[in-house]
């Protein structure tokens, strides 16, 4: 009579008396196929740790909900949250400092109180600490990030950054034909997910342009030569999701969550991002009205949700009175006024609400657009571009090349043979911008753009992206 066993992993019937090279006896009785043993070895090394951590975290969360072994009381807006000091210590730099100071009194409960964020926000963060899931939506993301900044929770900040950038994905994305498209698809995806729990899988689904902007802050040096993101490293916000709880697992890799680079450094990759280049290569006109208004609404929604004090820095005036400053939730920058913070945030969100209707470049500020338009498209500078001498309406002429206009003195015009490019004076006075060419609807659009005051968000309602020659000026400008 033969004894027959079963491989528990392959459900393969194995004759225990049949010792063949394809099966391994474990513990003298259990027989496993070699494939099963191999898979067990792989499975153990790769997943056991994560499973264990996940189970441990769930167990801790259950203890928290049952208030078992909780040795921390956190008071927020009159509401008391109970938690474990070990968990808080491993999740928050703020609590790490706080608990380190009272490390000797390990038997007594630790009490902490906060009035810089709401109980709802802290509840969200505490839930994340104990579950690894962050419940973000458009109305709480700024406050969550602000609180996370206060609590020194870099992983939460990274979550929020990714969320905001995917939410505010307003830059144009280039398709395979070199044409820049509106990002309604990615924005809709962001819209769809914004009310949902920020699961790791959704984080991985952040659009490429969002990722590149995020990496621009953290991995600038590495991606400079490969801003397209094809072979770029994973953003930190994604990497950390691979574990059930990165803070507990590794106490946060400080290198991985390095703070945002200073503003001056980030400009290094400005032109490689190509986020504002909306030039199309075909002759069709693309109406971005919907995109602009949609993005503007998204940005306004976020800005409106800014807490009254995003962060306070202990700065004192000369008379020793405290000076309140607004802290950027993305970086260490602080400003005196909320409006300045709003302006500053554009450099993080990538929002460019001021499009040039002549060349489709977009700007973060109206003054930058105006300066660009006057310099590039209106030739306002009374300086000869060639010899740099001052010119007047008498001894100088406006020369037009494509959408770019500049002035040359009569001498330089004769020397360089630009006479055929001289702009008609009458046309100039009337605001024509394309020189000797016939006035077209596009020309009128450009004229209107600077004549009217509604260049910014309002201009989006009539925004027409025009066909622009892929001239050196355009490519050089970006």
Binding site for DNA (CB under 7 A): 263-265, 267-268, 270-272, 276, 333, 335-340, 342-344, 346-347, 361, 363-368, 370-372, 375-376, 383, 388, 406, 453, 456, 472, 475-477
Taking the complex as a whole, the smallest distance from the CB of residue 245 to DNA amounts, in Å, to 33
Are 275 and 293 in contact, with CB atoms under 8 Å apart? Answer: no
Between 192 and 367, name the residue whose CB sits nearer to DNA: 367
Q: How many CB atoms lie within 10 A of CB 353?
A: 23
Name the token pair of 2.
Answer: 């033969």
Between 337 and 444, name the residue whose CB sits nearer to DNA: 337
Give the C-alpha separation, 413 to 113, whole Å.
73
- Beta-carbon contacts of residue 60 (< 8 Å; ≥ 6 apart): 84, 87, 130
Between 347 and 411, name the residue whose CB sits nearer to DNA: 347
Taking the complex as a whole, the smallest distance from the CB of residue 346 to DNA amounts, in Å, to 6
Taking the complex as a whole, the smallest distance from the CB of residue 8 to DNA amounts, in Å, to 59
Between 24 and 347, name the residue whose CB sits nearer to DNA: 347
Give the C-alpha separation, 320 to 317, whole Å.
5
Between 241 and 423, name the residue whose CB sits nearer to DNA: 423
In the DSSP assignment, the letter for residue 75 is E
Going from the C-alpha of 280 to that of each of 210, 283, 464, the distances in angstroms are 21, 7, 12
Taking the complex as a whole, the smallest distance from the CB of residue 184 to DNA amounts, in Å, to 23
The backbone region for 209, taken as left when phi is positive above 0, alpha when psi lies in -120 to 50, beta otherwise, is alpha
Taking the complex as a whole, the smallest distance from the CB of residue 456 to DNA amounts, in Å, to 6
Taking the complex as a whole, the smallest distance from the CB of residue 427 to DNA amounts, in Å, to 21
Taking the complex as a whole, the smallest distance from the CB of residue 342 to DNA amounts, in Å, to 5
- Measured in residues, the chain has a length of 478
Q: Please report, to the nearest 10 degrees, the dihedral formed by the alpha carbons of residues 293, 295, 300, 302 taken in order.
A: 160
Between 50 and 383, name the residue whose CB sits nearer to DNA: 383
Between 294 and 372, name the residue whose CB sits nearer to DNA: 372
Name the token pair of 28.
Answer: 């003298």
Long-range contacts formed by 178-186: CB under 8 A, 24+ apart: 178/281, 179/280, 179/281, 179/282, 180/277, 180/278, 180/279, 180/280, 182/286, 182/288, 182/290, 182/291, 183/207, 183/209, 183/291, 184/290, 184/291, 184/294, 186/210
Taking the complex as a whole, the smallest distance from the CB of residue 173 to DNA amounts, in Å, to 17
Between 78 and 476, name the residue whose CB sits nearer to DNA: 476
């Amino acid at each position: 009579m033969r004894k027959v066993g079963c491989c528990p992993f392959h459900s393969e019937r194995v004759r225990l008396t049949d010792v063949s090279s394809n099966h391994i006896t474990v513990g003298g009785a259990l027989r496993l196929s070699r494939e099963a043993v191999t898979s067990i070895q792989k499975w153990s090394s790769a997943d056991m740790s994560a499973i264990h951590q996940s189970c441990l975290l769930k167990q801790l969360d259950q203890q928290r909900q049952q208030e078992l072994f909780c040795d921390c009381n956190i008071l927020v807006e009159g509401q008391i949250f109970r938690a474990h000091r070990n968990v808080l210590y491993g999740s928050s730099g703020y609590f790490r400092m706080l608990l380190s100071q009272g490390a000797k009194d390990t038997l007594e409960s630790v009490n902490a109180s906060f009035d810089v964020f709401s109980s709802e926000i802290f509840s969200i963060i505490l839930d994340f600490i104990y579950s690894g899931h962050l419940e973000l939506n458009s109305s709480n993301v700024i406050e969550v990030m602000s609180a996370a900044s206060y609590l020194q929770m870099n992983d939460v900040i990274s979550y929020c950054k990714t969320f905001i950038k995917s939410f505010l994905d307003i830059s144009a994305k280039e398709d395979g034909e070199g044409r820049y498209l509106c990002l309604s698809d990615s924005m809709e995806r962001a819209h769809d997910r914004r009310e949902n729990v920020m699961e790791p899988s959704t984080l991985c689904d952040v659009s490429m342009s969002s990722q590149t902007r995020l990496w621009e802050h953290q991995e600038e040096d590495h991606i400079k030569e490969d801003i397209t993101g094809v072979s770029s490293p994973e953003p930190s916000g994604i990497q950390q999701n691979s574990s059930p709880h990165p803070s507990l697992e590794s106490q946060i890799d400080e290198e991985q969550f390095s703070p945002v680079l200073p503003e001056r450094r980030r400009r290094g990759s400005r032109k490689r991002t190509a986020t504002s280049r909306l030039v199309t290569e075909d002759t069709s006109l693309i109406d971005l009205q919907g995109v602009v208004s949609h993005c503007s609404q998204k940005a306004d929604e976020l800005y409106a949700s800014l807490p009254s004090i995003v962060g306070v820095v202990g700065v004192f005036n000369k008379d020793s009175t405290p000076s309140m400053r607004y802290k950027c939730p993305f970086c260490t920058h602080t400003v005196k006024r909320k409006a300045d913070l709003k302006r500053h945030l554009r450099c993080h969100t990538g929002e460019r609400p001021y499009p040039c209707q002549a060349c489709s470049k977009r700007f973060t500020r109206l003054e930058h657009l105006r300066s660009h338009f006057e310099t590039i498209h209106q030739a306002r500078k009374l300086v000869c571009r060639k010899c740099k001498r001052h010119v007047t309406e008498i001894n100088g002429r406006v020369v037009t090349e494509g959408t770019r206009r500049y002035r040359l003195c009569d001498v330089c015009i004769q020397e360089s043979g630009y006479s055929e490019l001289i702009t008609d004076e009458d046309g100039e006075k009337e605001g024509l911008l394309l020189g000797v060419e016939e006035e077209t609807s596009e020309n009128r659009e450009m004229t209107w753009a600077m004549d009217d005051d509604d260049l910014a968000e309002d201009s989006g309602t009539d925004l027409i992206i025009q066909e622009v020659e892929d001239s050196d000026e355009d490519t050089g400008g970006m």
